[in-house]
Amino acid sequence: MSDDLLINQVGGVLTLTINRPEKRNSISPALVEGLLEQFRRSRGDASLRAIVLTAVGDQAFCAGADLGTGKSFQFDYSEPRLPMPEMYRLARSTNVPIIGRINGTCMAGGMGLLAICDLAIAADHALFGLPEVKVGVYPMQVLSVLQHLVPRRHLMQLCLTGDPIKAHEARELGLVNTVVPKEQLDEAVNELVSRLVDRSPTALRRGKYATYAIEAMSFEESLHFMEGQIGLLAATEDSAEGQLAFREKRKPRWTGR
């Protein structure tokens, strides 16, 4: 495994840390391959409850593609699935919530990494942007995961001007859930993760799946789909246990089944 991605699992929490601080934690092929592998593996780990995605230091979460290589936009088009989009697909299909710990500047492809997180907490000094037009390209792949997070006109402004925004504006636009002083970032992330770990893993797993499944459906299609999902979820052990614990006024004992 490349040193570009640090991997640490404690109990049910997997932390993936981008480790390229000398390159402002920009994206490398090894980093993408590492994320692909970890997202694949996560599907088979029944003990996993949450994934935290972050980066080394407090200057940059991810500055996007490493333009210094001169090969950032050279792809093997004989392959129908490119690495970054495939990584987006795998992130969507993970069984647990992905929490973005946004420790610094988040630009270009970094915004794609932010967008694949289900929840995100940012340090208040972080900047966010899509500066691709300044180097003659456009956030084509990133838009596939950003388009449902940011209102259209604001998204177009980010794309067409390439100008950055500050953390509190990013929160107003829906890019992140919470903004905190950098000294409180770990505390805020840990508190959120602890709440998620305390919830039914079955409900989180099936809930995440269903939420993304209906994203492109019509109103009627989504209702038909969800009618089946509620019945399936109600038939699980966790559903029965959660309702029993509520009636008995005690903490649920989740089995994840």
pLDDT tens track for 136-195: 999 999 999 999 999 999 999 999 999 999 999 999 999 999 999 999 999 999 999 999
Segments forming the whole domain that contains residue 85 = 5-197
Q: Are residues 10 and 62 in the same domain?
A: yes
pLDDT digits (tens, 9 = 90+) for 104-130: 999 999 999 999 999 999 999 999 999
Verify that 173 and 219 share a domain, yes or no.
no
Structure tokens at 233: 């979820």
Residues 100 and 128 in one domain: yes
Q: Do 110 and 223 sit in the same domain of this protein?
A: no
pLDDT tens for 50-107 read: 999 999 999 999 999 887 765 656 667 777 678 899 999 999 999 999 999 999 999 9
pLDDT at 223: 95
pLDDT in tens, 195-208: 999 999 999 999 99
Asked whether residue 100 falls in the same domain as residue 209, the answer is no
Task: Give residue 2's pLDDT.
Answer: 74
Residue 253 lies in a domain: no
Domain assignment present for 44: yes
188 and 210 fall within a common domain: no
Tell me, yes or no, whether 122 and 139 share the same domain: yes
Task: Please indicate, yes or no, whether residues 60 and 81 belong to a single structural domain of this protein.
Answer: yes
Q: pTM value?
A: 0.92
Give pLDDT, residue 71: 62
Quote the pLDDT of residue 87.
94
Q: Give 226 or 74, the one with higher predicted confidence.
A: 226
* Dihedral angle sign, alpha carbons of residues 182, 186, 191, 196: positive
pLDDT at 229 exceeding the cut of 70: yes
Contact between residue 107 and residue 162 where contact means Cβ atoms under 8 Å apart: no
186: domain CATH number?
Answer: 3.90.226.10
**Domains held by the chain: number:** 2
Do 193 and 224 share a domain, yes or no?
A: no
Cα–Cα distance for residue pair 119/97, rounded to 1 Å: 8
Residues 214 and 182 in one domain: no
Burial label for 223, CB within 10 Å (0-12, 13-18, 19+), is exposed
Q: Does residue 205 share a domain with residue 124?
A: no
Q: Mark whether 120 and 237 lie in a shared domain.
A: no
CA distances to 39, 84, 100, 152 from 141, in Å: 19, 8, 19, 16
The pairing of beta strand 13-18 with beta strand 5-10: antiparallel
